[in-house]
């Protein structure tokens, strides 16, 4: 799905203008949208209370950057705001420089299965995720991952902590502790956790580390997976996608080639 914004409002407007002035401006902005767009804006649900048009913006917005120095606007995309949050979603999304919101499936979706995105960092353990949705977004997350039994949730949190620990080692290209077995374990944990919506960076790290160990075939395989996932998660214009394309084309020409042959 590709969606365009109905409304874009700089965050600072809410901290720098009296709130009554903002309500007035928000009313003018929405009431001047073309009729079908205004209707799709007003059809969204607001859950935070107060001024309805502003409540809809706060309940249904994505963070949108405009250029390097002006990074936080509330962007409202009515077609995308029907998507509920899941800590293990089946869709990935990104907003490109042209302010288009793209949504892609990252795994097979069964007929009748709800389409979901993640509003937060799913790599955090359950208590942190719950705190984020409650305090920053105003709802208590009821997704299937947050409602696992204590035992299953504890096992998930242990995997997430292991991912974070291994990531630290694999990101340190001078680490003496990293090994091909560690890369395999890292990818296994990612798959077991169901983090397909946010896996491009993990594939990148696996590709780089296999290349450090002089394993061209595995480096190429993971660089290609990184490109494939990166296109869904971030689009084609990212430095990571470009770098992984070049690594996949010629692992031995990449700066990381065979830097750790002794291990």
Given the rule CB under 6 A, which residues bind ligand SAM? 44-45, 47, 59-60, 81-82, 84-86, 138-139, 141-143
What is the C-alpha to C-alpha distance for residues 103 and 62, in angstroms, rounded to an integer? 13
Tell me which DSSP letter residue 252 carries: G
Give min distance, CB of 106 to ligand SAM, in A: 17
Give min distance, CB of 29 to ligand SAM, in A: 19
Q: Which tokens in the block code for residue 244?
A: 């992984």
> How many other CB atoms sit within 10 Å of the CB of residue 3?
20
Give min distance, CB of 121 to ligand SAM, in A: 14
Give min distance, CB of 82 to ligand SAM, in A: 5
What is the C-alpha to C-alpha distance for residues 21 and 152, in angstroms, rounded to an integer? 49
> Measured from the CB atom, is 61 or 178 closer to ligand SAM?
61
Dihedral sign computed on CA atoms, order 139, 143, 145, 148: positive
Give min distance, CB of 46 to ligand SAM, in A: 9
> Measured from the CB atom, is 77 or 190 closer to ligand SAM?
77
> Measured from the CB atom, is 60 or 211 closer to ligand SAM?
60
Q: Which of 106, 107, 43 lies closest to 76, judged by CA?
A: 43
Q: Which of 53, 68, 57 lies closest to 23, judged by CA?
A: 53
Cβ-contact 75, 61 below 8 angstroms = yes
Give helix then strand counts, H and E, for the chain.
Answer: 10, 8
Q: Which tokens in the block code for residue 248?
A: 């996949």
Give min distance, CB of 190 to ligand SAM, in A: 21
Give min distance, CB of 130 to ligand SAM, in A: 10
> Measured from the CB atom, is 143 or 219 closer to ligand SAM?
143
Q: How far is CA 37 from CA 41, 49, 68, 73, in A?
A: 6, 22, 29, 19
> Measured from the CB atom, is 26 or 141 closer to ligand SAM?
141
Give min distance, CB of 41 to ligand SAM, in A: 12
Cβ-contact 199, 190 below 8 angstroms = yes
Q: Which of 123, 106, 129, 72 lies closest to 233, judged by CA?
A: 106
Q: Which tokens in the block code for residue 251?
A: 């692992």
């Amino acid at each position: 799905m590709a969606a365009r914004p109905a409304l874009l409002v700089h965050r600072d407007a809410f901290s720098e203008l009296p709130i009554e002035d903002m309500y007035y401006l928000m009313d003018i902005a929405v009431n001047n949208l073309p009729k079908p767009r205004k209707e799709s804006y007003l059809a969204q649900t607001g859950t935070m209370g107060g001024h309805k048009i502003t409540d809809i913006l706060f309940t249904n917005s994505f963070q949108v950057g405009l250029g390097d120095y002006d990074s936080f606007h509330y962007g409202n995309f009515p077609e995308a705001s029907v998507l509920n949050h899941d800590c293990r979603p089946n869709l990935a999304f990104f907003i490109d420089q042209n302010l288009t919101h793209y949504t892609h499936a990252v795994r097979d979706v069964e007929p009748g299965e709800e389409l979901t995105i993640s509003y937060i960092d799913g790599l955090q353990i359950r208590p942190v995720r719950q705190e984020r949705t409650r305090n920053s977004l105003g709802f208590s997350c009821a997704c299937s991952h947050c409602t696992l039994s204590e035992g299953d949730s504890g096992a998930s949190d242990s995997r997430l902590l292991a991912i974070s620990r291994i990531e630290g080692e694999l990101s340190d290209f001078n680490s003496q502790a990293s090994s091909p077995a560690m890369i395999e374990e890292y990818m296994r944990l990612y798959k077991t956790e169901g983090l397909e919506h946010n896996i491009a960076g993990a594939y990148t790290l696996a590709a780089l580390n296999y290349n450090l160990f002089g394993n061209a075939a595995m480096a190429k395989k993971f660089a290609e997976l990184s490109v494939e996932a990166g296109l869904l998660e971030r689009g084609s214009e990212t430095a990571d996608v470009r770098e992984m394309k070049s690594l996949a084309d010629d692992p031995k020409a990449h700066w990381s080639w065979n830097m750790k042959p002794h291990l």
